[in-house]
Structure 1
Amino acid sequence: MSNTTSSSELIQALSDLHQRYQAAYADVDRQPTTEYIDEWQAPCYASEVRYGEVAWRPVLQQPKADFSGVEHGLEMPLNAQVKAFYGQFFAADLYVTVDTHPVVLSQVMCSEDLDRLQRNLIAHVLMKRRLGQPETLFIGTGEESEDLIISVDNATGVVGLEYAGKPQHAELAPNLTAFLHQCQARVVAD
């Protein structure tokens, strides 16, 4: 598989992952939950709040996320894979396993969360520039270390691992679509 795939292929892979994720929870007669944030009226919230947690489900973004302000501010186009990844669904983060490694894939739950994500993407790219490293865009974190980041190389589209402040040191997949196909849903206990 090449480093580039169409947005429709990526959106299908992300949709399939969300379906596998919801099914994994249904198999154990549960729903995935996330921390309830009172200030957010997240469209993905799917139940009443219990003990500060709320069940969620993926909901198509309407309208789709707009990254033009980020691209203008950084004076560079963002990798189309990453824009499609963050611009399709409102959802809570996805707990998955990739090659036996526990990973948390970032998602956006609402427009306020999208604003926060975009500020963090800008800060990440500016840090990479300051350090003279290839520009990457984060899509998640590894649970084995709080400094381990799952990122997409903005120029090549390669999905890899990097530690905070360091360049990518390991390739996980040639593109985000291939990476999403590798992800196995992981049911997280309360």
Structure 2
Amino acid sequence: MKSSPCELMQSLSLFSQKYLSQYQERYQHLPLIEKDEQWPSPCLSNDYDENHQYWQPSEISDPINFDNVEKALEITIHADFKTYFTTLYSDTLDASCDEGALSLLFAWSKDDFQRLQENVIGHILMKQKLKQSLTLFFALTDDDNMILSVNNDNGEIWVEKVGSQAHKKVADSMVSFIDMLTPRIP
């Protein structure tokens, strides 16, 4: 099942706003991240102290896409997966749903998006080598061996053990999955 890009962008934006709101309610400030001069991001804002900076999800304004991955591997990546990773720059956002705790993955910056593309290529090649249905990961679970993935054929959201076939469907689409999440503030 495919969501409209606008619906998915709205769901991601709404979830990130809920996350920030709940974080600020608990700590009275934006989320913090350790300073790293080698890892700039549009998500970063002012200094919190000498070792930490405030950050928040940032809408992606520069044109990024998966065209090079699709061309190199001669595949078409599901539109929901592409929209998900080209909507926001962010650190991971922790969440929970009926299935348990998870962390939504995002690119931190344009440079990190390139690294993400390399990981996606490796994942696709592994799936092809194992002759498994193509799924594309976008979240980690509280079990280090389990990930959440988009089924590339139909956009359904599945749990799968790393290196194994997806084994449990959790949502019909990315929008329905994101809409069922509750922010989990550390």
Q: How does 1:39-118 map to 2 (within 5 A)?
A: 39-48=38-47, 50=49, 52-99=51-98, 101-118=100-117
Q: How does 1:1-190 map to 2 (within 5 A)?
A: 3-28=1-26, 29-48=28-47, 50=49, 52-99=51-98, 101-143=100-142, 145-188=143-186
* Cα offsets for 1:98-128 (capped at 9, x unmatched): 1161100001110111011000001001000
* Cα offsets for 1:120-179 (capped at 9, x unmatched): 001001000000100111001001x21111100111101010011101111110010000
**Structure 1 residues 50 and 75: alpha-carbon distance in aligned structure 2, compared to 1, 3 A threshold:** farther
Q: Distance in 2 between matches of 1:106 and 1:67?
A: 16
Q: Which moved more, 1:93-102 or 1:124-133?
A: 93-102
Report the Cα offset of residue 182 of structure 1. Answer: 0.8
More strand by proportion, 1 or 2? 2
Q: Which moved more, 1:43-52 or 1:85-94?
A: 43-52
SS of aligned partner of 1:104: strand
**Structure 1 residues 68 and 160: alpha-carbon distance in aligned structure 2, compared to 1, 3 A threshold:** same
Report the Cα offset of residue 36 of structure 1. Answer: 3.7
- 1:123 is aligned with what amino acid? G
**Structure 1 residues 174 and 26: alpha-carbon distance in aligned structure 2, compared to 1, 3 A threshold:** same
Q: Gapped runs of 5+ residues in structure 2?
A: none
Q: Distance in 2 between matches of 1:94 and 1:51?
A: 24
Report the Cα offset of residue 27 of structure 1. Answer: 1.3
Q: Distance in 1 between matches of 2:60 and 2:15?
A: 17
* Cα offsets for 1:68-115 (capped at 9, x unmatched): 001111111111001110001111111001116110000111011101
Q: Distance in 2 between matches of 1:95 and 1:142?
A: 10
Report the Cα offset of residue 33 of structure 1. Answer: 2.6
Q: Gapped runs of 5+ residues in structure 1?
A: none
Report the Cα offset of residue 47 of structure 1. Answer: 2.6
Q: Distance in 1 between matches of 2:116 and 2:174?
A: 18
Provide the alpha-carbon RMSD of the alignment. 1.4
How many residues are treated as equivalent by the alignment? 185
Q: Distance in 2 between matches of 1:46 and 1:58?
A: 11
SS of aligned partner of 2:6: helix
Q: Distance in 1 between matches of 2:97 and 2:12?
A: 15
**Structure 1 residues 73 and 50: alpha-carbon distance in aligned structure 2, compared to 1, 3 A threshold:** farther
Identity of aligned residues (%): 28
Q: Distance in 1 between matches of 2:50 and 2:170?
A: 37
